[in-house]
A and B are shown apart, each in its own frame.
Chain A
Amino acid sequence: MQNIINGVAQGSVYALVALGYTMVYGVLQFINFAHSDIFMIGAFVGIYAAKWTNGYFPPIVQVMVVTLCAMAFCVALALTIERIAYRPLRTAPRLNVLITAIGISLLLENGGQVIFGADPRQFPSLLSTTSLLNSDELVLNNIQLTVILVSALLMVILHWVVHHTKLGTAMRAVSFDIEIASLMGIPTNQVIVFTFAIGASLAGCASVLYGLSYPKIEPLLGVMIGLKAFVAAVFGGIGNIMGAAIGGIILGLAESFAVYYISSSFRDAIAFGLLILILLFRPAGLLGTFRREKV
């Protein structure tokens, strides 16, 4: 049981980051490698925001303010990157955009090392940890619960946005066929901007949740999280929102159980082993169908 709680909490973070990958892929058919580094920047913004707001708010409000700051900064950063690096390449072959994304990712990682230093930083503990469920066998604390609930809430909101709003319909239309969508009078560039903004805000929120549970933040933080989230996205069927959410949670659970029953050295092997298995047997991913519903 304890493993399930641990795994779901860890998986929720993967899922939130995976959503950013999967949404951008759904719309533009390219993998935004810089996404996980936006997540890393969000965590650093969280550290600074927590420092500045310290003492002005009660803890719960402070967490919200810090999360909003991180989300706002991530959105601004993602939009800047989209405007400067990706939009000029909209008509270029997909490989060019992919390489640009890798370049941006490296820029953020190494730029982060210059600005923040290679030293890991301590994410301030904004919420004091209290156990909610407390027995010898099973422990659930407020931070784990917050991570799980906030992630679930965000996914529900996202699902609603995609399926029940005009914007969501537009996003689905653009993912279906970008040229026809623009012929139908859908402002495709705006829709793409929104997609990036939503992905980045999820990453911003995930970064604060991550910081609360694992208070060690460093500029290369995004690398491993990014790979895992990417695996989760592919696992669930890239381009599929539900798939990314489920993929993230399954990955979290698989790691948790693998480490408990086998060995910690297999943690990453399990993640990438899953990726290989899925690509072998279900290339479209767990929920990916032949004509899948994409965002």
Chain B
Amino acid sequence: MKPVKKALGLLSLSLIIFSASCTKKDASTSTQAANVMVGEELIFGEFGSMTGSESTFGVSTHKGIMMAVDEVNAKGGVKGKKIKVVSYDDQGKSDEAVTVVTKLLTQDKVHVLLGEVASSRSIAVAPIAQQYKVAMISPSSTNPKVTQLGDYIFRVCFIDPFQGSVMAKFALNNLSLKKAAIFRDVKADYSMGLANYFAQEFKKMGGEIVVDVSYSSGDVDFKPQLTQIRDKKPDVLFVPGYYTEVGLISKQARELNFKGVLLGGDGWDSEKLTEIGGDSIVGGYFSNHYSADDQNPAVQNFVKGYQAKYKEVPSGLAAMGYDAAAVAIDAANRATEMSTKGIRDALATTKNYPGVTGVITINDERNAVKPAVVLKVTGPQKFSYIATVNP
């Protein structure tokens, strides 16, 4: 018994020392939160889901960011300083995102944070960016909460209320369908946000929501809920989820003889959507940030450059990644002082920046005000441009 007691004593002692050293560290980090001047290089810290079930989001965004940075570096950088990008994979997990962002801020000492695609993970890390007073630009987190977490948190995309209401308007005005069902992912803030705003707008404009059910991301069997939806006979099914589940959902819905039109948000935007969903998803519509078919010269130049570099058509997420980096670069160029605070202040005054995904103005809530497009799934990995909806 004695050695055990001794060991326990040692353990508790080491715990005390450990916790003491931890508090010490905390104290020193709070002083670090001061304004950091940019040294020889301007460092962008990127974190995203390079692997996991949303891997194409992280990878596409990364390609977009690298393209914007490479273009500027080739022209000599920002005010003579080259930009360096440090990227980490968060595997699509919130806890992992917290770890890598802390690493970016404490070890790599980045000047601007770029990420995340998913709202849940942006929400998880935003308080850390705020604590260290480093500007964070989310390329495509559309949940309203994200930028409410602090005055250092920005985004270059529109927010859920807008996306949800775009699809509600589209279903009623363009498709003239009045009976809708909602199938939401209870585990994703993004999905809940879109679903709520869709329901609100749809009802306000005279439509009827016949059934509103949920699933949890990671599920593979959706038949019970889909049976319930089918039995209520809606004209449209709004599934504001991510592509892996949406693919499986559309497949199982068609297997159960569901005949309505599927609608969704930008979470559908991946070549894997049609890989998983096959023919079942063809004919569905979703809102997105941009379309490669858009004939606007800014878009066409970007598409050409991207295709030359990566030999593929850029997805919406790639375009958002490009714009996030481009807005950060633009802010660094305009900043009166090359420091973390200087860049943040310049970001807040971004106005009418001609991005690939539309003209971007950052408003008082640090959200981007810009149009949305609606795309239709027309075949394997083919999304065609249907309409642009302005704010």
Contact = CB atoms under 8 A, between A and B. Distances in A.
A and B associate in one complex: yes
A106 B55 CA distance: 23
Interface string B204-235: 00000000011110011101110110100000
Interface in B266-301: 272, 275-276, 278
Contacts of A216: 220, 244, 248, 276
B80 interface: no
A119 B227 contact: no
Contacts, number: 73
A78 B230 CA distance: 42
Nearest to B223: A6
Nearest to B227: A2
A30 B77 CA distance: 64
Among A119, A122, A263, A265, the most chain B Cβ lie within 10 Å of the Cβ of A119
Contacts of B219: 264, 267
Nearest to A129: B255
Main secondary structure of the interface of A (DSSP, over half): mixed
Contacts of B53: 119-120, 218
Given A119-B51, A264-B186, A6 B227 contact: yes
Given A2-B227, A264-B216, A139 B257 contact: yes
Nearest to B56: A119
B275 A265 contact: no
Contacts of B248: 214-216
Interface residues of B, number: 29
Given A2-B227, A260-B225, A260-B227, A141 B255 contact: yes
A10 B221 contact: yes
A264 B215 CA distance: 5
A218 B276 CA distance: 14
Interface of B: 51-53, 55, 91, 186, 213-216, 219-221, 223-225, 227-228, 230, 244, 248, 251, 255-257, 272, 275-276, 278
A256 B223 contact: yes
Contacts of A218: 53
6 contacts: A118-B91, A120-B244, A125-B278, A131-B257, A216-B244, A260-B224
B91 to A, nearest CB: 6
Q: Which 7 A-B pairs have the closest CB atoms?
A: A259-B224, A214-B220, A6-B223, A260-B224, A2-B227, A118-B51, A264-B215
Given A119-B52, A125-B278, A3 B224 contact: yes
Contacts of A141: 255
Contacts of A194: none
B255 A139 contact: yes
Interface size class of A (residues with CB under 8 A): 20 to 34
A129 B223 CA distance: 15
Contacts of A122: 272, 275-276
Given A139-B255, A264-B225, 19 more contacts: A2-B227, A6-B221, A10-B221, A10-B223, A120-B53, A129-B255, A134-B257, A136-B230, A139-B256, A215-B251, A215-B276, A216-B220, A216-B244, A256-B223, A259-B224, A264-B186, A264-B219, A267-B216, A267-B219
A117 interface: yes
B126 to A, nearest CB: 24
A23 B220 CA distance: 27
A264 B278 contact: no
A255 interface: yes
A48 interface: no
Contacts of A3: 224, 227
Among A3, A216, A257, A264, the most chain B Cβ lie within 10 Å of the Cβ of A264
Given A122-B275, A141-B255, A265 B214 contact: yes
A171 B230 CA distance: 48
Contact of B224 (A134, A255, A265): A255
B230 to A, nearest CB: 8
Interface in A121-136: 122, 125, 129, 131, 134-136
Contact of B214 (A129, A134, A260, A263): A263
A122 B56 CA distance: 14
Among B52, B53, B225, B255, the most chain A Cβ lie within 10 Å of the Cβ of B255
Contacts of B213: 263-264
Contacts of A134: 257
Contacts of B221: 6, 10, 214
Given A119-B53, A141-B255, A6 B224 contact: yes
Interface in A242-260: 255-260
